[in-house]
Amino acid sequence: MAGDFLYQALIYLAAAVVCVPVAKKVGMSSVLGYLLAGILIGPYLLGLIGGEGQDIMHFAEFGVVMMLFLIGLELEPAHFWKMRRAIVGLGTLQAGLTAGLLFALGMAFGLPWATALAVALALTMSSTAIVLQSLKEKGQMQTAAGQASFAVLLFQDILVIPVLAILPLLAPALATDTDSESHSLLQDLPAWLQTLAVIGSVTVIYVSGRYLIVPLLRIVAKTRLRELFTASALLVVISVTWLMEMVGLSPALGAFLAGVVLANSEYRHELESDLVPFKGLLLGLFFLGVGASINFKLILDIPGLVLGLVAGIMAVKALVLLLCGRVTKLGVDQNLLFALGMSQVGEFAFVLLSFSGQLRLTDGPTTDLLMAVTALSMTISPVLILINEKYIDPYFGIRQKIEEKSADEIGEKHPVILAGFGHFGSTIGRLLRANGVEATILDFDSDRVELLRKMGFNVYYGDATRLDLLKAAGADEAKMLIAAIDSPDTNFELIRTAQKHFPHLHIMARARNRFDAYELIDLGLKDIYRETLYTAVHLAVDVLQNLGFRAYTATRQGQNFIQHDETALRKLAVQRHDIKQYILSVREQIEHQEQLLQTDLHENLSETDHSWDGEYLREIIGKKTK
Amino acid sequence: MTRKHNILILFAHPRFERSRANARLVRHIPKSGHITFHDLYERYPDFNVNPAYEKDLLARHDIIVWHHPFYWYGAPPLLKQWIDVTLEFGWAYGPGGTALKDKIFFNTITSGGPRESYSREGHHQFTVQDFLTPFRRTATLCHAVYWPPFAVHGTHRLDEAGLQEQALQYQGLLERLLAGDFDPETPQQYPYLNDWFNQTKP
C-alpha cells in the first residue's frame, strides 16, 4: 500500500517537475503544463496511472478551496462589498443567458427538458481553478477583465448550491438519493430550517474568524514554531470546508468568506505564505487529474461529435461573455481576455454531471461524453488564452490606445509618476514640488495617502505594480517614472511592468544597495540611484574635512569616488554573470568587497589628479631645466 | 587717514594644500581683528555662494582683496561665481547700487611665469593689468576704487629666500593698509602695488 502510494507520488511529482518547466519555457501557463503532464501519464498515452484521475481530482479540489481562501485573504472586506453589484448583476446575466441558450440547444437536439436543463446548468460553470490561476500568474487579477472574471466565478460558486438542490426535483420518481454527492446533514430538514442553518454557518465563520481564529493564531505565533502555524492555517481551511459540507454549502465559498474575514488581521501575510505551496501543489494535482481523466478512447470513437460539442459550447459561452463584457463596458482587449478566458466548462460540471448521472437525469454514455467535453474544454482553454495573448490582444491593445488618444481626455495627469512616498520618495516629491513640478504619487499606505490628499497632492492609493493603477495614474501620457518603493522586490516588479506596458517611460530607480543595482542593470536601466552610496560618500567627505582635508578637495574626491564606483558597478555587473557557482552569499559579498578594493587600488584617485597643483608643475619644470 | 581700515581677503585657491607660494603669503597675513581672511573654496566647496552673507561681509569692510593664483589669465572659477552671485543689481551697481561706493578693491595674484613675460614684448603679449581688466571694470562699475595688483611672479623658479621676501612685502603692505597710512589715489600711478609699497616706504 505504502509502495503504491510512493509509486503514484513519484509519477505525479516527476510528471509535474518535467512538464511544467518545459511549458513555462515555451511561454505557456503552468496550468497547461500540468494538464499536458496529466494527459501524458494518463491511461491513454503512457498508461502510468489508470482510471484514478477522477479520484485524484476529487481530493485535489481542496486546492480550489484553498485558492479561494487565499483570494479572500487578499481582498479587503470593503473592496468585496464594493464588488457586490458586479457579482450579482454580471453573474446573473452570464449564468442566465448561458444556461438559457444551452437549454434551448439541448431541447433542439431532442433531449428531454429535464435533462437539457441539468446539462445546461452544469455546462454554464466556468473553471475557477484555471481562470484564477492563469490570471494570478500573469498578474491580471486587478485588471478590469480579471475583476469581471472574478465576479462571475464567485457568483457561479454561489449558484452551485441551489442547483444541487434543484436537480433532485427535476428527477421525480427516478431519484435514488442514497448515493448523492453532498452528504448534507440538513437534507431532510424543512426549507426554512436549511436557510437558517446556512445563515447560521456564515455567521459562525464571521464570528469565529474575528474572535476565535485570530486569538488562536496569536497564541500559536507566540510558540514560534513555524510548522505549528502552518498546521493552524491548514486547520482553519479544513474546518471551514468541513462546516460548509455539513450544511451543504460550497466549501470554496465558505473558505473565501473566511479569507475575507481574516484579511484585516495581522496574520494575513503569514497565513498566505504558509498556504501558498499547498494550494499550488493541490491545484497542480487537480489539473493533472483533469488531464489524466480525458477519455481519449471516446473522443477517438466519435471525434466529430466531441469536437463539435466542445467548439459549440465554448462558442456559446464566449459569445455570452462578450455580451456581458460589452454591458459592463470592458475595452475590446479586456473583453476578449474575459470571454476567451472564461469560455471553458469548469470543475463544478464534473460534480453536477456525476450527480445528474446518479439521479438518472442523464444516461451513462451522455454523462461520459459530457465529462470528456468538459475535460477537453479545460485543456483547450489555456491554449486559447495563450493565443489571445500572443496574437489577438496585441492588435486590439494598440488600436485601443489610438482611440483613447483621439478621445482627448484631459485629466489631472502629470508628466512625472512617483511610486512610493516613504522617506525616500517623499524627499523627491517635496523637492519637485518646491520647484513647481507636481508628480502623480502612488502609495500603498492609506493613512499617508489621506494626508497627502489633504495637502493637495495627486495621490493614488494602491499597489503600484498593478497595471490598471499605473494606467489610472496616466502612465500612458507620462514622461518619467520614479520607482522609489521601499521594498526592492516590489520596485523591480513595478519596473518590469512599466517596461513591458509603457516602453516610452523614462524610468529612474531607487536601489537599496549594490546588489539591487545589479538587478536594475540587468533590467536595462540607466538611471540607478543607490541610497547607500551618496549618503555614505557625503559622510566620508565630511570625515576627510574634519581630518584637515580641504573642503573642496574632499568634495571633489567624493564626486570622483562616485564616478569611479559607478564605473566599477557596471563592470562588475557584467562579470557577475561569469561566476557560475554561487557560494554562500556572505562569502560572496566578501569576495565582492575584495574585488572592489582591488579596483580602488589600481586607480588611486588623489594621485592622478593634478589640477591646480602648483607643486606638481614645479617638479616637472624643474626636471626639464635640469 | 589715521582711521583703522577693515580688510577683507577673499581667498580663492582650489588646491591650497598643494600650493607653496600662496601658503607662505597666507601665513604672513597679519593677525588682526581688522582683517577677515575668507577662504572661499573651503567655505563653498559646492559653489553654492550665499549672497546675503557675502554682502554683509562686504558692508563691514573698506578694502577688499581678491587673492588668488593667476590661472589662465584670470581667477579660479569660484571667484567668478562669487562676483556673479554677490554683486547684485540695485545693491552693488545700477540704480541705487551704491553699497560698494569708495571701497578699495585690488587683486593679489601669484603666477608661475616671470614679470617680464607679462608685457607687450613678452611671452604673454599683455600686461597683468590688461588681463585684470574685467576686475577693474567690475570695481569701477560698483563705484569703487580699483588699485593695481600685488603680484608674486615667477613662482616656478622662486627659491625660498625670494619667496620669503615677497611674503614679507605682502605682510608689510597689509599692515600699512590696516593703519590707514596712505592716500587712496597714489597707488593707481604704479603698475604694481609691490612697486608703490617699495618706493614709498617711509
Question: Higher model confidence: residue A198 or residue A416?
Answer: A416
Top residue of A552, A562, A607, A609 to mutate, by most chain B CBs within 10 Å, is A552
> Phi/psi at B119 (nearest 5 deg)?
-155, 170
Decide if pLDDT at A173 tops 60: no
User: Confidence band (pLDDT; 50, 70, 90) for A528?
Assistant: very high
Chain B residue numbers touching A614 (CB-CB < 8 A):
15, 18-22, 69, 112, 155
Q: Inter-chain contact A612–B18, Cβ cutoff 8 Å?
A: yes
User: Confidence band (pLDDT; 50, 70, 90) for A397?
Assistant: very low
Among B121, B27, B11, B6, smallest CA distance to B69 is for B11
Decide if pLDDT at A518 tops 80: yes
Find the helix packing angle between A332-341 and A393-406, rounded to 10°: 150
Would you say residue B1 lies in a domain?
no
User: Confidence band (pLDDT; 50, 70, 90) for A407?
Assistant: very low
A440 within 8 A of A458, measured Cβ to Cβ: yes
Whether the model pTM is above 0.90: no
User: Confidence band (pLDDT; 50, 70, 90) for B137?
Assistant: very high
Question: Higher model confidence: residue A533 or residue A391?
Answer: A533
Q: Inter-chain contact A614–B19, Cβ cutoff 8 Å?
A: yes
Q: Domain of B125: which CATH number? A: 3.40.50.360
Question: Higher model confidence: residue A181 or residue A348?
Answer: A348
How crowded is the C-beta side of A70, counted as CA atoms within 13 Å?
Answer: 24
Q: Inter-chain contact B21–A614, Cβ cutoff 8 Å?
A: yes
User: Confidence band (pLDDT; 50, 70, 90) for A584?
Assistant: very low
Look-up of cell digits 469560455:
A343
Would you say residue B127 lies in a domain?
yes
* C-alpha grid cell, residue A490: 516590489
- Looking at residue A563, its pLDDT comes to 85
Query: Which regions of chain A carry the CATH code 1.20.1530.20?
Result: 2-172+191-400
How crowded is the C-beta side of B67, counted as CA atoms within 13 Å?
Answer: 24
Question: Higher model confidence: residue B31 or residue A211?
Answer: B31
Would you say residue B175 lies in a domain?
yes
Of all helices (H) and strands (E), which one includes residue A31? helix A30-41
CA-CA distance, A16 to A333, in Å (whole number)? 32
Give the pairing type, strands A527-530 and B150-152: unpaired
> Phi/psi at A336 (nearest 5 deg)?
-65, -45
Give the pairing type, strands A458-461 and A527-530: unpaired
Which residues 6+ apart lie within 8 Å of A144 measured at CB?
A: A330, A331, A334, A468
CA-CA distance, A225 to A486, in Å (whole number)? 29
Chain A residue numbers touching B17 (CB-CB < 8 A):
549-550, 553
Decide if pLDDT at A146 tops 80: yes
Select from B15, B42, B46 the Cβ nearest to the Cβ of A612: B15
- Looking at residue A587, its pLDDT comes to 60
Nearest CA in chain A to B45: A552
Question: Higher model confidence: residue A276 or residue B102?
Answer: B102
Among A271, A390, A385, smallest CA distance to A30 is for A385
- Nearest CA-CA distance, residue B48 and chain A, Å: 12
Would you say residue B158 lies in a domain?
yes
Chain B residue numbers touching A551 (CB-CB < 8 A):
41-43, 45
- Looking at residue A399, its pLDDT comes to 40
Question: Higher model confidence: residue A136 or residue A569?
Answer: A569
- Maximum distance among all alpha carbons in chain B? 49
A2-172+191-400 folds as: Na+/H+ antiporter like fold (1.20.1530)
Q: Inter-chain contact A618–B20, Cβ cutoff 8 Å?
A: yes
3 state SS of B145: strand
- Looking at residue A590, its pLDDT comes to 65
Chain A residue numbers touching B13 (CB-CB < 8 A):
612
User: For A84-96, what is each residue's pLDDT tens digit?
Assistant: 888 888 889 999 9
CATH of domain A416-580: 3.40.50.720
B15 within 8 A of A613, measured Cβ to Cβ: yes
Mean pLDDT over residues B21-34, rounded?
Answer: 95
Structure-derived torsion over alpha carbons of residues A8, A11, A17, A19, reported in degrees to the nearest 10: -130
B127 in contact with chain A, both atoms CB, cutoff 8 A: no
Q: Which domain holds residue B86?
A: 7-199
Of all helices (H) and strands (E), which one includes residue B8? strand B7-11
User: For B121-130, what is each residue's pLDDT tens digit?
Assistant: 999 999 999 9
Which among A283-297, A425-439, A555-569, B92-106 has the top mean pLDDT? B92-106
Mean pLDDT over residues A479-490, rounded?
Answer: 91
Select from B42, B155, B157 the Cβ nearest to the Cβ of A614: B155
Nearest CA in chain B to A554: B45
Structurally, chain B folds into a number of domains equal to 1
Q: Inter-chain contact B71–A612, Cβ cutoff 8 Å?
A: yes
* C-alpha grid cell, residue A264: 484585516
Would you say residue B169 lies in a domain?
yes
3 state SS of A482: strand
Among A336, A339, A294, smallest CA distance to A316 is for A339
- Nearest CA-CA distance, residue A543 and chain B, Å: 14
B3 in contact with chain A, both atoms CB, cutoff 8 A: no
Mean pLDDT over residues A423-446, rounded?
Answer: 86
3 state SS of A457: coil
Mean pLDDT over residues A407-428, rounded?
Answer: 73
- Looking at residue A398, its pLDDT comes to 41
- Looking at residue B20, its pLDDT comes to 92
Chains A, B: CB contacts under 8 A, how many? 53
Mean pLDDT over residues A274-302, rounded?
Answer: 81
Select from B17, B78, B155 the Cβ nearest to the Cβ of A550: B17
Decide if pLDDT at A337 tops 90: no
User: Confidence band (pLDDT; 50, 70, 90) for A238?
Assistant: confident
3-state secondary structure string, A257-292?
Answer: HHHHHHCCCCCHHHHHHHHHHHHHHHHHHHHHHHHH
Look-up of cell digits 597683468:
B128
Mean pLDDT over residues A489-499, rounded?
Answer: 91
Would you say residue B75 lies in a domain?
yes
- Nearest CA-CA distance, residue A614 and chain B, Å: 5
CA-CA distance, A246 to A251, in Å (whole number)? 10
User: Confidence band (pLDDT; 50, 70, 90) for A579?
Assistant: low
How many angstroms from the chain centroid is the CA of residue A185? 36
CA-CA distance, A480 to A428, in Å (whole number)? 13
Query: Which regions of chain A carry the CATH code 3.40.50.720?
Result: 416-580
Q: Inter-chain contact A551–B19, Cβ cutoff 8 Å?
A: no
